[in-house]
Chain A
Amino acid sequence: MSVVVRIPTPLRKLTGNQGEVREEGKTVREILDGLESHYPGIRERLTDESGELRRFINIYLNEEDIRFAEGLDTTVKAGDEVSIIPAIAGGSR
């Protein structure tokens, strides 16, 4: 199951400046495994010590936030697009 993964700018130094890569897997978690095997160090930017998605990282499968699906266990199929999107946040305090 080959899917396109969109990489946000801050993580592109780990992917050789590629904004899109292809990965194989049946679930988003397997896609992240594939990313880590090809681009070591990327997983810790996306998930915490318990393996869950970091608070400021959103992952969309096509048009849907995986938090509102099965999370990292959301299944993917060939041709899907996985977008990694760091949240935009801040504030005066």
Chain B
Amino acid sequence: MGLPGAGLLMRDGEEILLPQEIFRKIVDHCRSLRPEEACGLVAADGSGRAVEVLPVANSLHSPVRYQMETREQFDAMKRIRREGWSLFAIFHSHPLSEPAPSPTDIRQAFYPEAYMIIVGLEKEPPVVRGFVVEDGRARELPLRTVSDTIS
């Protein structure tokens, strides 16, 4: 829907920075829907800082597959555009397995400008990893939480 990719701007540093509040919201949402896979979008502001988590329903309600509910995905992307944000990341959970991109995740990664964040809920605490998908391959990037205070 014409969302510029903040992710591209931040790849020089080769790490994904998530404010603690954003990190917590992602993990809490994924935990709340376990054992189903949860999913959603993360928006960034004009400076490329992740500023909002937009959960989207998994229309498949499956522990091993997800597809964003079409209307909610449309509304979330519209909100990102209208707020002047950009699509920073797409997240989903793996309730029963390691947080590594599956062949399905890579095949269906239609938004290469966004980071892919996967929350592994197999263990406590959850393991959160981040990737970029380029040319049909996923490459892991360091994912680090940062203070919520904008410096």
Q: Which of A58, A60, A90, A93 has the most CB of B within 10 A?
A: A90
Q: Is B16 an interface residue (CB 8 A)?
A: no
User: Chain A, 52-75, contact with B by CB distance < 8 Å: what is the 0/1 string?
Assistant: 000010101000010000000000
Contact A89 B108 (CB under 8 A): yes
Chain A contributes a number of interface residues (CB within 8 A of B) equal to 22
**CA of A56 to CA of B5, assembled, Å:** 21
User: Chain B, 30-43, contact with A by CB distance < 8 Å: what is the 0/1 string?
Assistant: 00000001010100
Contact A90 B113 (CB under 8 A): no
User: Chain B, 68-98, contact with A by CB distance < 8 Å: what is the 0/1 string?
Assistant: 1011011001000000000000101011110
Contact of A58 among B70, B94, B101 (CB under 8 A): B70
A87/B2 contact (C-beta < 8 A), A10-B110, A92-B96, A92-B102 known: no
Minimum Cβ distance to chain A for residue B41 (Å): 8
Q: Is A8 an interface residue (CB 8 A)?
A: yes
Minimum Cβ distance to chain B for residue A26 (Å): 23
Q: What is the number of contacts between chain A and chain B, taking CB atoms within 8 Å?
A: 92
Minimum Cβ distance to chain A for residue B89 (Å): 11
Contact B74 A60 (CB under 8 A): yes
Minimum Cβ distance to chain B for residue A58 (Å): 5
Stretch of B18-26, B44-52, B58-66, B143-151 at the chain-chain interface: B58-66
Minimum Cβ distance to chain A for residue B36 (Å): 11
Contact of B113 among A9, A20, A60, A88 (CB under 8 A): A9
Contact A6 B1 (CB under 8 A): yes
**CA of A20 to CA of B3, assembled, Å:** 11
A-B contact pairs, 13 of them (CB 8 A): A6-B1, A9-B113, A85-B77, A87-B68, A87-B73, A88-B67, A90-B105, A90-B109, A91-B37, A91-B65, A92-B37, A92-B105, A93-B102
Instruction: List the interface of chain B (C-beta within 8 A of A).
Output: 1-5, 37, 39, 41, 56, 60, 62, 64-68, 70-71, 73-74, 77, 90, 92, 94-97, 101-102, 104-105, 108-113
